[in-house]
Chain A
Amino acid sequence: MRGERNTRFFSRLWMALVFGFLYLPIVSLVVYSFTDSSVPNVWGGFSLRWYQALAMDSDLKEGLWLSLKIATSTATAAVILGSLAAASLHRFPHFFGRTLFSGMVSAPLVMPEVIVGLSLLLMLVSLQRLLGVPERGMVTIWLGHLLVGMAYATVVIQARLRDLNPQLEEAAQDLGAKPWQVFFLVTIPMIAQALLSAWLLTFTLSLDDVVLSAFLSGPGATTMPLVIFSRARLGLNPSVNAIATVVVVIVAIGVSIASYMLAQKERRRSREIAAAQRFK
């Protein structure tokens, strides 16, 4: 039994080390955002000066605002397009060009971002020469994010559709529901969790993206990651720590609200299942 205890000790140690590795940078960012020194890795006592600096920093604030706008519209559009794509692949096993379609849906997942960015930009520039639109800026960044976000959304939603019990939809139809009623009253509520995860995932991806935004942005459309990236390239910058902490807090709140809602829903569902089984 000593071997087993050693194994358990080793497994705990390994997991602790890996979690330490994963969380160390986040912890250090948050800690040093409160330092009173102008070098962000020297502890000079507690202060909020970098948050004050952040409040005055119009580049970062405007960048954050623009990024939030793009991320929200990206996530919403990606979930809609992703649902359609996932439904096509799930519902219709045969249609013209299905192989091409499924390849195109998943390709942006593995394609290096520099290539996606370059190809979209070349097309938009050519289009602009022909038609005069679109101007490079928020909309073009949104297009790029949507392309990648849609791929992620499709994967998440498709996985959930695969796990669904098709009998529930058939039952609804047998009871007289029209296809769109089945979709909105049966399918959507059952995949709501996947839709929410897909939305959150694409939102974060968009909020975080540097490469696509750099290719597709125009004058006056500098997203928050672009501001951070250009400052981080030059060296350490304490206001980056402050904005990082703000982002970490926003995300932490968002994720906890989402997981609380999902847990509630799960609990309600298992209660309902238990209640239904009592009537058997």
Chain B
Amino acid sequence: MTGTWKPGSRAAVIGVPFFWLTVFFLLPFMLVLRISLAQMDGALVTPLLTFSEEVLTVRIHLTSFVQLVTDDLYFATYLVSVKYALITAVICLAIGYPFAYFMSRSEHRWQPALLMGVMLPFWTSFLIRVYAWKSLLEPNGWVGAPIHASGIDEVLAFLGMIASPEQLMYSPFSLVLGMVYTYLPFMVLPLYATLSKMDLRLIEAAQDLGATPWQAFWRITVPLSKSGIVAGFMLVFIPCVGEYVIPELLGGPETLMIGRVLWDEFFSNNDWPMASAVAVVMILVIIVPIAIFGRNQDHAQEAS
């Protein structure tokens, strides 16, 4: 490598971002952990360490965590968050896999334009696009009207995705729709990346050896795109668990998610330790998916 960096400049290149991240990411994070083990004491939180009369006392309040475990509301909310994040990721995969597959198999000169088409909505405000669904799903909206006219609303109500056929908004249906809409590109892009790199001769070989196109797809293409599937799934699932804006705009009373609970603990109840404890447990919920994602990325990088 280009070797002769002066030690001073090397330290600066590493040091500046390292220092920055330590102060603004690691430290705040430690603080959340510390506050989750405290209690509110007026407008302040109780100190962790006190020193008086030559006694050093460490005071760890587990109040918030005990409450998290014993109050069913919290458990139910974590469950709801994971459930809708899973449903969203599965639907994104079902829509996104065929899409990415067809995209990667379309004519080469069209592919950059198609890719651009997937990315372009990213560049326009996500908040505004989610807001747009509100009017689309109104009974007289562009999407709401056909759903009501075709009787799909009855099916959705039967499946429990909406409370009654008249109301599409503020329901599990509108929530999942909004999350699928927002996170679909996060599924398509990693899938497209793996599918377009795939060696097509493998499929030809399989077909020469007598596999039907369908067999070749399930036994060659799908296993080879596993890293894309895992990456896309995690990129949708992880942020959906902690999602706040979409449930707030499109969700209803039965879709209370954990991001909202954290928000309320902090802003409405002013209970910092509880909000911090909710955050700590949320991290525990997503740490396994994050680890799977990280390992998957490392493997994919080694393979390429």
Is there contact, CB below 8 Å, between A24 and B31?
A: no
Is there contact, CB below 8 Å, between A225 and B127?
A: yes
**Chain B window 3-39, contacts with chain A (Cβ cutoff 8 Å), 1 for yes, 0 for no:** 0111001100110111011101111110110010000
Alpha-carbon distance between A180 and B4 when the two chains are bound, in angstroms: 10
Binding stretch for chain B, among A51-59, A97-105, A188-196? A97-105
**Chain A window 178-193, contacts with chain B (Cβ cutoff 8 Å), 1 for yes, 0 for no:** 0110100000000000
Tell me the residues in window 205-247 of chain A with beta carbons closer than 8 Å to chain B beta carbons: 207-208, 210-211, 225, 228-229, 232-233, 235-236, 240, 243-244, 247
Question: Given A15-B102, A95-B14, A208-B127, does the pair A122, B24 have CB atoms closer than 8 Å?
Answer: no
**Chain A, residue nearest B32 (CB):** A119
Is there contact, CB below 8 Å, between A19 and B13?
A: no
Q: A3-B213, A118-B266, A179-B4 are in contact. List 15 more A-B contacts (CB 8 A).
A: A18-B184, A19-B117, A25-B181, A26-B132, A84-B14, A101-B17, A110-B234, A110-B290, A112-B259, A114-B259, A118-B262, A123-B31, A147-B25, A179-B6, A247-B124
B242 close to chain A: CB less than 8 A:
yes
Q: Residue B131 contacts which of A18, A88, A166, A228 (CB distance < 8 angstroms)?
A: A228
Is there contact, CB below 8 Å, between A21 and B181?
A: yes
A34 → chain B, closest Cβ, in Å? 14
B174 → chain A, closest Cβ, in Å? 13
Q: Residue A112 contacts which of B98, B114, B276, B286 (CB distance < 8 angstroms)?
A: B286
Is there contact, CB below 8 Å, between A11 and B31?
A: no
Alpha-carbon distance between A147 and B124 when the two chains are bound, in angstroms: 21
B105 close to chain A: CB less than 8 A:
yes
Q: Residue B136 contacts which of A28, A81, A126, A147 (CB distance < 8 angstroms)?
A: A28
Is there contact, CB below 8 Å, between A255 and B123?
A: yes
Q: Residue A28 contacts which of B121, B125, B132, B241 (CB distance < 8 angstroms)?
A: B132
B293 close to chain A: CB less than 8 A:
yes
**Chain A, residue nearest B34 (CB):** A122
**Chain B window 98-128, contacts with chain A (Cβ cutoff 8 Å), 1 for yes, 0 for no:** 1100110110000000101110111111111
Chain A residue numbers with a CB within 8 Å of B29 are: 119
B282 close to chain A: CB less than 8 A:
yes
Is there contact, CB below 8 Å, between A112 and B102?
A: no
Is there contact, CB below 8 Å, between A110 and B2?
A: no
- Classify the interface of chain A: helix, strand, loop or mixed: helix
Alpha-carbon distance between A21 and B142 when the two chains are bound, in angstroms: 12
Chain A residue numbers with a CB within 8 Å of B142 are: 24, 28, 41
A68 close to chain B: CB less than 8 A:
no
Residue numbers of A with Cβ under 8 A of B are: 3, 11-12, 14-15, 18-19, 21-26, 28-29, 32, 40-42, 81, 84-85, 87-88, 91-92, 95, 97, 100-101, 104-105, 107-108, 110-115, 118-120, 122-123, 126, 143, 146-147, 150, 166, 169-170, 173, 179-180, 182, 200, 204, 207-208, 210-211, 225, 228-229, 232-233, 235-236, 240, 243-244, 247-248, 251, 254-255, 259
Question: Given A114-B263, A182-B2, A251-B123, does the pair A236, B134 have CB atoms closer than 8 Å?
Answer: yes
Chain B residue numbers with a CB within 8 Å of A40 are: 135
Tell me the residues in window 229-261 of chain B with beta carbons closer than 8 Å to chain A beta carbons: 234, 238-239, 241-245, 248-249, 259
B63 close to chain A: CB less than 8 A:
no
Q: Residue B28 contacts which of A15, A100, A120, A211 (CB distance < 8 angstroms)?
A: A120
Question: Given A15-B102, A122-B35, does the pair A81, B140 have CB atoms closer than 8 Å?
Answer: no
Chain B residue numbers with a CB within 8 Å of A166 are: 1-2
B240 → chain A, closest Cβ, in Å? 9
Is there contact, CB below 8 Å, between B117 and A114?
A: no
B76 close to chain A: CB less than 8 A:
no
Alpha-carbon distance between A221 and B129 when the two chains are bound, in angstroms: 23
A243 → chain B, closest Cβ, in Å? 8
Is there contact, CB below 8 Å, between B4 and A91?
A: no
B143 close to chain A: CB less than 8 A:
yes
Question: Given A11-B102, A15-B102, A208-B125, does the pair A118, B279 have CB atoms closer than 8 Å?
Answer: yes
Instruction: Kindly name the residue among B6, B17, B126, B213 whose own CB sees the greatest number of chain A CB atoms within 10 A.
Output: B17
Is there contact, CB below 8 Å, between A25 and B129?
A: yes
